[in-house]
C-alpha cells in the first residue's frame, strides 16, 4: 500500500486556480522531486499537504487512512488537524528557526510541548539528530550565529524530531549562497539511506536526477509529466517539460 | 523647615509612585486585550475597539480625566466616585489605565504584526497549538521589539501622573505647590523636578538593561 495517496487536489486563490487536480502516490522510503517553473503551484501543493492551506477539492491519505477530504473538512476539529498534519513535516525555504532559542531547544521545543517522551528521551534524540546533520559543535549556539546552510540543517533536524511519515522540503536551498547548497543537499541525500519518505521541491536538477525515485514536473497547476528521473530528464515526452529542462540547464 | 518640606514631598511622591504602579499594572494587560480586539476578525468588535482607541488617543488625557470624574455626576446625577479622596484616586486610575492601555495596545499590535508569518507556520507544522505558538514562540520576540517604544510611554506616564492634581489627588506636585500658599516658599515646587529626574533615570537604566538582556538573539 502506498504511504501517501493524493487524489485530485484543487486549490484556488480568488479567481486564479493554482492547483487544477493533482493526483499522485508515493511508496514508503521513496523520494519524490517536484520541479517546475515558479508560480506553477509547487509551494501551494506542499502547504495543502501540511494543512497550511485548505484544498478546495480532493483528498489525501497516509498509509491508507484518509487524513484530509475536502468534502467533509467541516468535521475536522483543530486538534484533529494537528494530529493529522503530524504525518507530514515541512522544511521551509527560509528556515524559520525560532531566534530566541538555541539549536538544541529549537529541536526539543515541539516534542516537549507534545509530550513525545520524557525530557531525557527528547534531549537524547535531539542530540542524535544534531549529530546526524553534523552540528554537534553548535548545539548551544543561537540561529543568528549560524550560516544559512547550518540553519537549514537545524530546520531539517527540527522537522525530523516529530518523526513525520513524509518530510516535505520547499526549495530548501533557494535562499542559500551557491557555496552552501551542497551541505544541505548532502544531508537530504543521507536521509534517503535512512529510509525516510520525502517530497522535495527543488530547482537543483542534478540533485533531483541523482536522488529521486520519482520526478513530477508541474506546470500551471497540473502535473505535466511524471516518472522516473531517467524518464523525465532522459526522455521527456511533453514539449513543456523539454522547454523547462533546457532553460534550467542553460542557467547552469 | 527643610525637613518638613521633604517629608511632605516624600509623601506626595509615594502617591505618585502608587499612581504610576497601579496604572501600569492595569494598562499592561488591558492593552493586550484591546490589541487582540483591534486585530479581531469579527469586524463589529474591531470597528468598536478602533473607534475607542481613536477617541482616547485623539483627546487630551486631562479632558478624559475631567469627564470621567465629573461626567457621571453632571450627566447622570449620580457621582459614582463618592466625595472622598479614595473615590478621586479610583477615578484618576480609571482614566490613566484606559488612556495608557490604548497607547500600549497600538504598540503591542505593531509588535505582534511585525512577527514573520513563517514563525507561526513553523510552529503549526510542528503540531503546536495557537496558545503554545503565541506564548512560546511569538511573545518574547514581540517583547524584544516593543521594549524601546514601551519605555518611552512608561517614562511619559511618570510625568503624566502629575495631572492627577487637577482633581485634588495629593501627588508630589500638589505637595510642592502647597508650600507657596502655606509658607510663601516657591522652591519646594521646583524641587519636585529632582524626584522625577531621579526616578526617570532609574527607569532608563532598567530599560537599557532589559534591552541588553534581549540582545542575545536577532530576528
Ligand atoms: N496566499 C495566496 N494568495 C493568493 N495567491 C497565491 C497565494 N499563494 C500563492 N498564490 C499564487 O499561486 C500561484 C502558485 O504559487 P506557488 O504555489 O507559490 O508556486 P511555486 O511554489 O511553484 O512557485 C502563484 O501565481 C501565486 O501568486
Ligand atoms: Mg514556491
DSSP secondary structure, B46-65, as one string: HHHHHHHHHHHHHS-HHHHH
Low-confidence ranges of chain A (pLDDT < 50): none
Domain that holds residue B37: 2-217
ipTM for the complex shown: 0.93
Is the sign of the CA dihedral B23, B29, B33, B35 positive or negative? Answer: positive
CB of A117 sitting under 6 A from ligand 1: no
* pLDDT tens digits along A13-70: 999 999 999 999 999 999 999 999 999 999 999 999 999 999 999 999 999 999 999 8
- Residue-level pLDDT at A251: 60
Nearest CB to A96: which of B121, B140, B217? B121
Range B48-77 burial, b when 16+ CB lie within 10 A, else e: ebeebbeebeeeebeebbbebbeeeeeeee
The three three-digit cell numbers of residue A226, written as one number: 511524471
At CA B167, angle to CA B161 and CA B173, rounded to 5?
45
Cα B41 to ligand 2 centroid, rounded to whole Å: 28
Domain count, chain B: 1
Chain A residues within an 8 Å CB radius of B141? 99-100
Chain B residue closest in CA terms to A50: B125
CB of A42 sitting under 6 A from ligand 1: yes
Contact assignment for A144 to B218 by CB distance below 8 Å? yes
Q: What span, in angstroms and rounded, lies between the C-alpha atoms of A97 and B111?
A: 19
Contact assignment for B118 to A92 by CB distance below 8 Å? yes
CB of A106 sitting under 6 A from ligand 1: no
Q: Which residue has the cell 514563525?
A: B119
With beta carbons less than 8 A apart as the criterion, state whether B171 and B12 touch. yes
CB of A77 sitting under 6 A from ligand 1: no
pLDDT (tens place) for every residue of chain B, 219 residues total: 889 899 999 999 999 999 999 999 999 999 999 999 999 999 999 999 999 999 999 999 999 999 999 888 888 877 788 778 888 899 999 999 999 999 999 999 999 999 999 999 999 999 999 999 999 999 999 999 999 999 999 999 999 999 999 888 888 999 999 999 988 899 999 999 999 999 999 999 999 999 999 999 988
Contact assignment for A142 to B125 by CB distance below 8 Å? no
Q: What span, in angstroms and rounded, lies between the C-alpha atoms of B1 and A139?
A: 65
Chain B residues within an 8 Å CB radius of A86? 127
- What CATH number should be reported for the domain holding residue B157? 1.10.3720.10
The protein residue whose alpha carbon is closest to atom 1 in ligand 1 is A13
Mutate to test the interface with A, among B117, B123, B124, B125 (most CBs of A within 10 A): B125
What are the C-alpha distances in Å from B23 to residues A220, B52, B67? 57, 19, 18
Chain B residue closest in CA terms to A164: B126
Cα A235 to ligand 1 centroid, rounded to whole Å: 29
Q: Which residue has the cell 531517467?
A: A230
Nearest CB to A52: which of B124, B216, B217? B124
Is the sign of the CA dihedral A66, A71, A76, A81 positive or negative? Answer: positive
Q: Hey, what's the torsion of the CAs at A216, A218, A223, A225, to 10 degrees?
A: -60
Nearest CB to B217: which of A86, A100, A110? A100
- Residue-level pLDDT at A71: 86
With beta carbons less than 8 A apart as the criterion, state whether A184 and A134 touch. no
Contact assignment for B119 to A142 by CB distance below 8 Å? no
With beta carbons less than 8 A apart as the criterion, state whether A121 and B162 touch. no
At CA A209, angle to CA A204 and CA A214, rounded to 5?
110
Name the pTM for this structure.
0.88
Distance, CA of A207 to chain centre: 15
The protein residue whose alpha carbon is closest to atom 10 in ligand 1 is A13
Amino acid at each position: 500500500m502506498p504511504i501517501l495517496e493524493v487524489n485530485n487536489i484543487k486549490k484556488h486563490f480568488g479567481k486564479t486556480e493554482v492547483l487544477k487536480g493533482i493526483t499522485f502516490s508515493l511508496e514508503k522510503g521513496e523520494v519524490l522531486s517536484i520541479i517546475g517553473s515558479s508560480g506553477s503551484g509547487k509551494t501551494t501543493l506542499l502547504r495543502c499537504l501540511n494543512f497550511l492551506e485548505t484544498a478546495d477539492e480532493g483528498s489525501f491519505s497516509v498509509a491508507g487512512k484518509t487524513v484530509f477530504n475536502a468534502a467533509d473538512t467541516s468535521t475536522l476539529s483543530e486538534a484533529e488537524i494537528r494530529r493529522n498534519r503530524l504525518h507530514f513535516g515541512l522544511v521551509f525555504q527560509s528556515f524559520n528557526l525560532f531566534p530566541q532559542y538555541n539549536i538544541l531547544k529549537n529541536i526539543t521545543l515541539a516534542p516537549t510541548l507534545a509530550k513525545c517522551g520524557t525530557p531525557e528521551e527528547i534531549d537524547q534524540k535531539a542530540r542524535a539528530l544534531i549529530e546526524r546533520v553534523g552540528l554537534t559543535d553548535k548545539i548551544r549556539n543561537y540561529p543568528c550565529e549560524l550560516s544559512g546552510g547550518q540553519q537549514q540543517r537545524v530546520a531539517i533536524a527540527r522537522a525530523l524530531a516529530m518523526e513525520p511519515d513524509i518530510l516535505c522540503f520547499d526549495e530548501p536551498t533557494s535562499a542559500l549562497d551557491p557555496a552552501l547548497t551542497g551541505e544541505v543537499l548532502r544531508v537530504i541525500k543521507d536521509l534517503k539511506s535512512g529510509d525516510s519518505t520525502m517530497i522535495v521541491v527543488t530547482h537543483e536538477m542534478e540533485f533531483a536526477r541523482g536522488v529521486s525515485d520519482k520526478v513530477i514536473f508541474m506546470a500551471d497547476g497540473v502535473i505535466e509529466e511524471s516518472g522516473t528521473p531517467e524518464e523525465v530528464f532522459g526522455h521527456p515526452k511533453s514539449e513543456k517539460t523539454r522547454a523547462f529542462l533546457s532553460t534550467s540547464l542553460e542557467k547552469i | 523647615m527643610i525637613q518638613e518640606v521633604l517629608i511632605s514631598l516624600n509623601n506626595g511622591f509615594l502617591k505618585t509612585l502608587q499612581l504610576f504602579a497601579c496604572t501600569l499594572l492595569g494598562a499592561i494587560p488591558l492593552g493586550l486585550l484591546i490589541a487582540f480586539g483591534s486585530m479581531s476578525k469579527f469586524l463589529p468588535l474591531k470597528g468598536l475597539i478602533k473607534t475607542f482607541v481613536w477617541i482616547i488617543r485623539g483627546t487630551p488625557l486631562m479632558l478624559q480625566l475631567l469627564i470621567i470624574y465629573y461626567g457621571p455626576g453632571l450627566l447622570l446625577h449620580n457621582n459614582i466616585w463618592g466625595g472622598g479622596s479614595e473615590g478621586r484616586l479610583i477615578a484618576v486610575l480609571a482614566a490613566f489605565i484606559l488612556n495608557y492601555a490604548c497607547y500600549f495596545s497600538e504598540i503591542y499590535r505593531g509588535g505582534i504584526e511585525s512577527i514573520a508569518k513563517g514563525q507561526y507556520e513553523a510552529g503549526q507544522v510542528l503540531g503546536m497549538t495557537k496558545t503554545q505558538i503565541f506564548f512560546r514562540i511569538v511573545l518574547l520576540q514581540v517583547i524584544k521589539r516593543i521594549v524601546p517604544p514601551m519605555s518611552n510611554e512608561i517614562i511619559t506616564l511618570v510625568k503624566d501622573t502629575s495631572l492627577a492634581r487637577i482633581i485634588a489627588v495629593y501627588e508630589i506636585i500638589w505637595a510642592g505647590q502647597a508650600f507657596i500658599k502655606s509658607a510663601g516658599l516657591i522652591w519646594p515646587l521646583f524641587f519636585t523636578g529632582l524626584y522625577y529626574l531621579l526616578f526617570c533615570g532609574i527607569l532608563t537604566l532598567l530599560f537599557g538593561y532589559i534591552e541588553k538582556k534581549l540582545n542575545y538573539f536577532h530576528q
